[in-house]
Structure 1
Amino acid sequence: MATEQTIADERQEQTELEASLRNGSLLMTLAGVAFIGYGVVFLVLNFVGNGFELGVSTLDGMTKADLNPTVAYYISHLHIATAAFIISTGIAITALSWYGVRQRLRWAWATTVVAAVVGLALALPMHYTADAFTHDWVTHLGPIYLATVVFVIGVVMVYRGLNTT
């Protein structure tokens, strides 16, 4: 009798861990899609917005039209490149999470974690080093922080699911 209960408990635990893996990979995938969306907004604002990043309306009171045209073009160039890398990282995270992590491929899970951590670890500290320009923290960083929280929850859920025997 105790053996049957033990087997039932083990099956229940295995089912819960499989659900954790499945749901966690879904959250990681959704976060990847959010990264793509953030990058697309970043890109679109370069062309149809005020020419600056999400949450940045002026640089020390100067609009894009007030800047030297060469400097404005250079800023635009950097925004496009940054958007491209945000979008491409989001695509990689989305694809790896959906097609690799769901298949229990540890290398896919590790790659998504490394890609996200490297991108965020390099990009975010600059926002806290100086107040060289004003920006709306909620609109500028809020979306990426929200996507990161979703991603981290998914990563932890998947980790639990991957560590089953």
Structure 2
Amino acid sequence: MATEQSIADERQEQPELETTLRSGSLLMALAGVAFIAYGVVFLVLNFVGSGFELGVSTLDGMTKADLNPAVAYYISHLHVATAAFIISTGVAVTALSWYGIRQRLTWAWATAVVAAVVGLALALPMHYTAETFTHDWVTHLGPIYLATIVFVVGVVMAYRGLNAT
């Protein structure tokens, strides 16, 4: 039989775990919004900026105007598609975090984690291979790394809240 002290301890711990769950899901949702913002910037730069990604101003000294028009259009096409998938992943992470995880749905937590991890795991390694163009690391990857740190902290906090008894 539980003692009065252990029952009192459980009652005190429950609101703390609920706060941890809500704070974690909020951080995950904010990271999702940051993913959306990064994708929107990516998209805008394609049409009204340099025509290249955030942190990339030229390709081996060549601007978009210097490229063969077919190649420039193809690069633009890939940037729009990439931006669309970054934005859609951000929407999914945000919605799953804000609506699903806060309702204690473990599948929503797992889906948000998998969606973000798959995108990051596939996209980030390419930035560390031999490149024929240079990019400003801070402006190119800094925002995503910052959002990822916020996301990971939220994932851990939400996990602790979800797995509370």
**Short-chain TM bin:** over 0.9
Give the percent of matched residue pairs that are identical in Structure 1 and Structure 2: 87
Aligned length: 164
Q: Which moved more, 1:2-11 or 1:70-79?
A: 2-11
Cα RMSD for the two superposed structures: 1.0
Tell me the distance in 2 between the aligned counterparts of 1:106 and 1:36.
Answer: 23
Please give the alpha-carbon distance, in whole angstroms, between the structure 2 residues aligned to 1:4 and 1:136.
60
Is 1:90 the equivalent of 2:90? yes
Counterpart residue number, 1:122: 122
Counterparts of 1:1-165 in structure 2, within 5 Å, are: 3-165=3-165
- Cα deviation for residue 3 of structure 1 reads 2.8
**In 1, distance between residues paired with 2:157 and 2:15?**
13
Alpha-carbon distance in 2 for matches of 1:20, 1:45? 37
Q: Which amino acid aligns with 2:108?
A: A
Distance in 1, matches of 2:150 and 2:49, equals: 28
Question: Runs ≥4 in structure 1, deviation > 3 angstroms?
Answer: none
Q: Deviations over 1:44-101 (max 9, x none)?
A: 0000101000000000000000000000000000000000000000000000101101
Structure 1 Cα separation of the partners of residues 39 and 140 of structure 2: 12
Shift of 1:6: 1.9
Q: TM-score, normalised by structure 2?
A: 0.97
Q: Structure 2: where are the runs of 5+ without partners?
A: none
